[in-house]
Structure 1
Amino acid sequence: MEHEIRVLSDAQEVGRSLEVFLNAMVGMRWPDPEAVPGLMEPGRTVAAYVPTANPSADVPAGNTSHPERLVGTASSFTSWMIVPGGKKVPQAAVTDVGVLPTHTRRGLAGALMRHQLEQCLARNEIVASLRASEATIYERWGFGIASNVATVEISVDRADFRPGVPKGGDVRLVDLRERADQDLLARIYTGANWVGAIDRPSYWWRARAHVRQLGQDHHYAVVHGIPGHEDGFAIYTPQDSSTWFRSKDRCIVVGDFVANTSRAHFGLLRYLLSLDLVQRVVLDTMPVDHSIEKLFTDERSVSTHGRRDETWLRLVDVQAALAARTYRAPGQVIIEVRDDLLRDNNGRYLISASGVARTEQPPDLTMDVAQLACVYLGGTPFWQLAQAGRIAVHRDAGLTVADHLFALRRAPFGGTMF
């Protein structure tokens, strides 16, 4: 289909691009148009335009001879991601990808994604990640599921902490309507130190504040730690405030739980389970290996469900990304990577605890770049992909070594929706 991909700079065009995205998603709340410029990072929104004979269609300023319509969009923000070993690597956090329902299945989404990935290369962003509204479209552009999350539900009346579980530290409520308290949460989050965590720039914080303003329920926030030394926070809301005082099953949903230390983890959990009137605490987005049930004498007081994909990862510069993370010793493996979109990534990589280098030696494993993304953060073992026929194994011992090299003690976890 004839089209043109452009980077948007005009505020009105950026606003129209967000309308396109919302029309594509169908079920999302529309923001205040005046707030949109402050929610999106300048220079990181791209749009697909198609020619139209309809004179009432969108026509960019100064162009009346060739009417055209904005029908697709994709955006991103400058970010980082923590990879195994603790390094923060530059990444593009991809968001707001959508094509109008009248123009789908015409290659526009692919054109937008290719343009974004080329931008990433130009900015030296070695990885890109997103949260997918659909599970079957992003692998074709080299994205793979690198982390998963689960929902944890705790029955308050059954959740008695075992003797010896640490108390945690001081907690206090803050007001999410106050800019100073919003800034405090942002400062706390800069201490995020787990594999898979990503940066939350100012645009993200403003967008979350705006979403809260659009909602009906009040959001509560509590921070852990003495003033000036806070190391965690939790944001929660009642599940159904309209029937709160008549309900026999009052529940709070924790939408954001950030604990940079184990002390903060214990202190925040103890606070949430101490709230009067509450029968259930639901931690909506938690690591799949959280082990919260081990804290209680009755482990059945905790149920884990709703496991779902979280981080869809794309290795934009394969060699730089592989070199940025660490590996367990001993051993080495040669992986052949195929990337139909970013062809400079094609080749064989010798990987060990000593580093990563290109090689011409025969490979132990062959895979496309999307499958490499699945294993990159340590969230998926190689053997599972091999068993599913998603990677080619040329040497069985190489599969064993690869799983050893890439393995982590804890599952990767993002914890940030965008």
Structure 2
Amino acid sequence: MTTELRVPREADLDAFLGVLGTAFGGALQVPEEREKWRALAEPDRFLAAWDEDEIVGTAGAFTFRLTVPGGTSVPTAGVTMVSVLPTHRRRGILRSMMRRQLDDVRAWGEPLAVLTASEPEIYGRFGYGVATGQLTARIDTSKVRLALPAGTDDLRVRLVDAYDGGVRERCEALYAERVPLRPGMLARRPGWERVAVHDPEQLRAGASPMQCVLVERDGDLRGYARYAVRAEWDAAGPKGEVLLRNMEALEPAALGALMRYLFDIDLTTWLTIGNRPVDDAWLHMVSDVRRCEIGHRDSLHLRLVDVGAALEARTYAAPVDVVFDVADDFCPWNEGRWRLTGDTKGAACTRTDDAPDLALSVRELGAAYLGGVTLGALAGAGRVREVEWIATSLCCLLVRWL
């Protein structure tokens, strides 16, 4: 059997999404869910594998910009909708789609590709490294107390309609203000603000419709949180659960006001948090972190599509002058030796014939790129090798990339 890869037409989108839904256990059978992705679709950046006249595999890449260390916003392919039908597994279809997709991303002039993985072991073989983690928590709000920042009481807390267009636009504007401040945040195109309030009743699993609370100072929005409540009772009384969907704050007092509000919702004793930064500031507000049931998992998987352009796009917390010997058999244009020089003001990364200081694969470069993983930690795991001893190499190895 042979398959053909080609960009789907607009008329093929229903079949494309149908294959995706089947591969992911039927999630797209909910009409609102399918309509969400149709509205966001960029068909010219999608790819389908065809067996005769049937789609059997899918892949896509949304248009984003990613904040990198130093605050620059870099064009980035947001890889998505990757699936292969169960009838066509183990035939090289996934590999062929990922190969073609990275060629396309390079042709689009985007030096980075990112994704969040349904199964984290899949994408390392295609050069993606786990660049960020996410924090989860289930906080016993009946026993944990908050130490709130100064100024928390000066802010106005207001419950609003989460689905209101004006509220949605204000929250998206605040999110956009946060994007340049943290490496790994994605600048979103118009339309993505609707995803944050996408809330089909069939997918609520017994929770309430989405709620939204704003924190303001003199009418200026300083933070927001979206959440749902799942009611539960036992013989002793109510023990409901607050399910935090997303939250952003521009200052400590705003974060404190939001956390206090979420802790104090009537008839609840649990606050469940997901997909938060591993260094989230509220961790330093709680009285007993052990009762917060902290968890950690992978978040953003990142691939350097163009090593030179990607390493030049960010800055470095300490002066660096190092030669990398990069292995990348999946994107051979990245193979070989690169000299990286840079500091807090900028960087240059060019081809060189100089002797390498460090040997590693493009996967390790992706893992370390945003600063959440150090080259030192990767070296300790045997995934980065020091080739020649020079002082600057040791410095580069041990300095945390920020």
Q: TM-score, normalised by structure 1?
A: 0.85
Match of 2:23 in 1: 24
Match of 1:280 in 2: 270
Deviation at 1:142, TM superposition (A): 1.0
Over 3 Å counting, the alpha-carbon distance change for 1:22 and 1:362 in structure 2 is same
Aligned AA (1:123)? W
Identify which of 280, 284, 298 aligns with 1:290.
280
Identify which of 341, 344, 349 aligns with 1:357.
349
Deviation at 1:188, TM superposition (A): 1.9
Match of 2:38 in 1: 37
Match of 1:183 in 2: 169
Identify which of 98, 105, 113 aligns with 2:90.
105
Aligned AA (1:44)? R
1:296-307 correspondence to structure 2 within 5 Å? 296=286, 298-300=287-289, 302-307=291-296
Over 3 Å counting, the alpha-carbon distance change for 1:269 and 1:347 in structure 2 is same
How far does the alpha carbon of each residue in 1:106-133 deviate from its partner, in whole angstroms, 9 at most, with x for none? Answer: 1111121222222211221111100101
Instruction: State how far apart, in whole Å, the 2-side matches of 1:210 and 1:19 are.
Output: 20
1:17-416 correspondence to structure 2 within 5 Å? 17-26=16-25, 28-32=27-31, 36-51=37-52, 68-162=53-147, 165-167=150-152, 169-192=155-178, 193-216=181-204, 217=207, 218-226=209-217, 229-238=220-229, 240-241=230-231, 248-296=238-286, 298-300=287-289, 302-354=291-343, 355-358=347-350, 359-395=352-388, 397=391, 400-408=394-402
How far does the alpha carbon of each residue in 1:212-263 deviate from its partner, in whole angstroms, 9 at most, with x for none? Answer: 454343111112224763232211112x336599864221111212223333
* Maintained 8 Å contact 1:383/1:399: no
Aligned AA (1:352)? T
How far does the alpha carbon of each residue in 1:304-360 deviate from its partner, in whole angstroms, 9 at most, with x for none? Answer: 422100000011111111011111223422211122122222232222334223222
* Maintained 8 Å contact 2:76/2:114: yes
SS at structure 2 position matched to 1:370: helix
Deviation at 1:49, TM superposition (A): 0.4
Instruction: State how far apart, in whole Å, the 2-side matches of 1:340 and 1:281 are.
Output: 45
Instruction: State how far apart, in whole Å, the 2-side matches of 1:340 and 1:117 are.
Output: 13
Over 3 Å counting, the alpha-carbon distance change for 1:347 and 1:2 in structure 2 is same
Q: Tell me which moved more, 89-98 or 152-161.
A: 152-161
Over 3 Å counting, the alpha-carbon distance change for 1:317 and 1:331 in structure 2 is closer
% identical aligned pairs: 33
Which runs of 5 or more structure 1 residues have no equivalent in the other structure? 52-67, 409-418
* Maintained 8 Å contact 2:67/2:182: yes
* Maintained 8 Å contact 2:151/2:253: yes
Instruction: State how far apart, in whole Å, the 2-side matches of 1:343 and 1:129 are.
Output: 19
1:15 aligns with 2:3: no
SS at structure 2 position matched to 1:109: helix
Over 3 Å counting, the alpha-carbon distance change for 1:381 and 1:205 in structure 2 is same
Match of 1:60 in 2: none
Q: TM-score, normalised by structure 2?
A: 0.88
Aligned AA (1:191)? E
SS at structure 1 position matched to 2:259: helix
* Maintained 8 Å contact 1:293/1:301: no
1:5 aligns with 2:21: no
Deviation at 1:35, TM superposition (A): 5.4
Q: Tell me which moved more, 78-87 or 348-357.
A: 348-357
Deviation at 1:21, TM superposition (A): 1.2
* Maintained 8 Å contact 1:251/1:280: yes
Instruction: State how far apart, in whole Å, the 2-side matches of 1:228 and 1:206 are.
Output: 23
* Maintained 8 Å contact 2:133/2:297: yes
Q: How large is the RMSD of aligned CA atoms in angstroms?
A: 2.5
Deviation at 1:203, TM superposition (A): 4.2
Which runs of 5 or more structure 2 residues have no equivalent in the other structure? none
Over 3 Å counting, the alpha-carbon distance change for 1:247 and 1:136 in structure 2 is farther
* Maintained 8 Å contact 1:31/1:210: no
* Maintained 8 Å contact 2:368/2:375: yes
Instruction: State how far apart, in whole Å, the 2-side matches of 1:161 and 1:206 are.
Output: 32
SS at structure 1 position matched to 2:170: helix
Over 3 Å counting, the alpha-carbon distance change for 1:303 and 1:395 in structure 2 is farther
Q: Tell me which moved more, 162-171 or 213-222.
A: 162-171
* Maintained 8 Å contact 2:231/2:241: no
* Maintained 8 Å contact 1:349/1:356: no
Over 3 Å counting, the alpha-carbon distance change for 1:313 and 1:224 in structure 2 is same
Over 3 Å counting, the alpha-carbon distance change for 1:20 and 1:398 in structure 2 is farther
Aligned AA (1:38)? A
Instruction: State how far apart, in whole Å, the 2-side matches of 1:205 and 1:243 are.
Output: 34
Higher strand proportion, which one? 2
* Maintained 8 Å contact 2:148/2:285: no
Aligned AA (2:138)? E
Instruction: State how far apart, in whole Å, the 2-side matches of 1:249 and 1:377 are.
Output: 40
Instruction: State how far apart, in whole Å, the 1-side matches of 2:115 and 2:37 are.
Output: 20
Over 3 Å counting, the alpha-carbon distance change for 1:73 and 1:227 in structure 2 is farther
